[in-house]
């Protein structure tokens, strides 16, 4: 009985201990890390005498404005980024695509129309000749030969009918003969020759696109040449220097330089001369800009001689007069008395004692 009571009491004690609030407090482990409610990332660092090092802020990468870059800087940046080297911005552009068949046909038709308008407006081709050429291209050799044959017969006989003309045409060209007979073969050759000669009258019309293209190229060349001459004239010096050798009062040689302004009329004369008809087709029109600029400078200087001579003579006369006055002031006047003449520096006799003292003792 006593053993049963001990067991029951022990079970009750065990249940009582496991109830909330009756567990004994755990003793902290002296070797364990301190436990806090603050997360590890937010726990304060241990205090030290030296404050922790702070990394400097990383600057933002500088942004490049491509619109402000020069061509050389852009090409350098392109090479660093892609590893490809280009000599100019044109090398970076995609090559133009070849024109399509439709584009070529449209360009040819447009050029044909423009060339005809150019030929008619300049009087190079008459409208009636162009219409005849168009008709001649559309007709076959027999039709052309028959029309010419009829025109010739009607010039002789106004009463002859077209039917009679065609009948005689058939006889003349042996149309009743067999196609393989020598008469018919010879007649066909003669008929084709007549038609070809008639069409040859309008060969200039067939060449209109080529002539128009050449004229347009020449016009553009002339415009570019005239523009280049005007740009060179605009950048030309507005005064020209003329060096003149001169002997100064003291006898030394020097060079006097006179600068003469260039009148606007000189530039106008040179421009009219170098842009006159035919100049762009000569040597000057096909030369390099440096050669053309040298020619412009020579033409301007050559026309400046007449302008410069009066200016240089007037300026040079002032210089000569100034030097002449200096020479006159320094010259001795023989009419002056000895008292009026400038006093000369007194001549001194040598001091014998000073000379003797300077002598070397042997």
Identify the DSSP state of 42: G
d(CA 154, CA 132) in angstroms, rounded, equals: 19
| Of the residues 164, 181, 206, the one at which a domain ends | 206
247: which strand partners?
A: 253
Same domain, 184 and 114: yes
d(CA 107, CA 102) in angstroms, rounded, equals: 9
CB 232 within 8 A of CB 300: no
Same domain, 269 and 200: no
Orientation angle between helical segments 289-330 and 208-235, nearest 10 degrees: 20
Same domain, 323 and 225: yes
Same domain, 317 and 237: yes
d(CA 196, CA 212) in angstroms, rounded, equals: 25
Looking at the domain assignment, is residue 152 inside a domain?
yes
In terms of residue numbers, what domain contains 279? 221-327
Looking at the domain assignment, is residue 36 inside a domain?
no
pLDDT given at position 41:
47
d(CA 99, CA 120) in angstroms, rounded, equals: 30
Looking at the domain assignment, is residue 38 inside a domain?
no
Same domain, 247 and 162: no
d(CA 199, CA 129) in angstroms, rounded, equals: 11
Number of domains in the chain: 2
d(CA 77, CA 83) in angstroms, rounded, equals: 10
Same domain, 307 and 284: yes
| Of the residues 178, 206, 234, the one at which a domain ends | 206
Looking at the domain assignment, is residue 7 inside a domain?
no
Looking at the domain assignment, is residue 24 inside a domain?
no
CB 170 within 8 A of CB 176: yes
| Of the residues 151, 180, 206, the one at which a domain ends | 206
pLDDT given at position 60:
63
d(CA 63, CA 70) in angstroms, rounded, equals: 16
Same domain, 232 and 315: yes
Instruction: Outline where 201-346 has alpha helix (H).
Output: 203-206, 208-235, 264-274, 289-330
Tokens matching residue 50: 């030296």
Same domain, 193 and 228: no
Same domain, 237 and 291: yes
Same domain, 114 and 147: yes
CB 280 within 8 A of CB 226: yes
45-76 burial, b at 16+ Cβ within 10 Å, e below that, comes to eeeeeeeeeeeeeeeeeeeeeeeeeeeeeebe
Identify the DSSP state of 160: -
Residue with tokens 């052309």: 144
Other residues' Cβ atoms within 10 Å of the Cβ of residue 10: 10
Looking at the domain assignment, is residue 228 inside a domain?
yes
Looking at the domain assignment, is residue 302 inside a domain?
yes
Same domain, 283 and 248: yes
pLDDT given at position 137:
83
pLDDT given at position 226:
87
d(CA 236, CA 271) in angstroms, rounded, equals: 12
Same domain, 317 and 268: yes
* Three-class DSSP category at 174: coil
pLDDT given at position 6:
55
CB 163 within 8 A of CB 150: no
pLDDT along the chain (362 residues), means of 10: 51 55 55 53 53 63 70 82 81 82 88 88 87 85 92 91 92 91 93 91 83 87 87 90 84 86 91 82 73 89 85 82 74 56 57 63 56
Looking at the domain assignment, is residue 62 inside a domain?
no
pLDDT given at position 356:
63
Other residues' Cβ atoms within 10 Å of the Cβ of residue 335: 6
């Amino acid at each position: 009985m006593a053993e049963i009571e001990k067991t029951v009491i022990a079970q009750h004690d065990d249940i009582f201990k496991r109830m909330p609030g009756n567990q004994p407090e755990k003793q902290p482990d002296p070797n364990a890390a301190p436990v806090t409610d603050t997360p590890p990332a937010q726990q304060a660092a241990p205090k030290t005498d030296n404050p922790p090092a702070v990394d400097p802020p990383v600057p933002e990468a500088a942004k490049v404005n491509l619109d402000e870059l020069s061509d050389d800087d852009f090409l350098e940046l392109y090479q660093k980024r892609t590893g490809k080297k280009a000599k100019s911005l044109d090398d970076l552009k995609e090559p133009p695509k070849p024109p399509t068949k439709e584009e070529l046909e449209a360009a040819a038709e447009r050029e044909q129309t423009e060339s005809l308008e150019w030929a008619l407006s300049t009087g190079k081709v008459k409208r009636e000749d162009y219409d005849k050429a168009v008709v001649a291209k559309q007709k076959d050799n027999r039709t052309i030969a028959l029309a010419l044959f009829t025109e010739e017969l009607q010039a002789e006989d106004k009463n002859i009918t077209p039917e009679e003309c065609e009948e005689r045409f058939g006889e003349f060209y042996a149309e009743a003969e067999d196609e393989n007979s020598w008469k018919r073969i010879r007649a066909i050759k003669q008929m084709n020759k007549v038609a070809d000669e008639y069409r040859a009258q309008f060969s200039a019309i067939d060449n209109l696109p080529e002539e128009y293209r050449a004229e347009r190229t020449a016009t553009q060349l002339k415009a570019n040449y005239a523009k280049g001459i005007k740009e060179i004239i605009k950048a030309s010096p507005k005064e020209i220097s003329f060096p003149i050798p001169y002997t100064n009062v003291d006898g030394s040689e020097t060079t006097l330089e006179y600068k003469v302004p260039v009148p606007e009329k000189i530039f106008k004369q040179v421009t009219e001369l170098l842009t006159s008809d035919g100049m762009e087709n000569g040597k000057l029109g096909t030369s390099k800009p440096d050669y053309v600029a040298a020619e412009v400078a020579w033409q301007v200087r050559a026309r400046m001689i007449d302008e410069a001579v009066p200016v240089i003579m007037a300026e040079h006369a002032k210089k000569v007069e100034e030097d002449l006055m200096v020479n006159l002031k320094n010259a001795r006047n023989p009419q002056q008395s000895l008292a009026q003449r400038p006093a000369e520096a007194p001549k001194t006799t040598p001091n014998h004692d000073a000379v003797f003292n300077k002598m070397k003792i042997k």
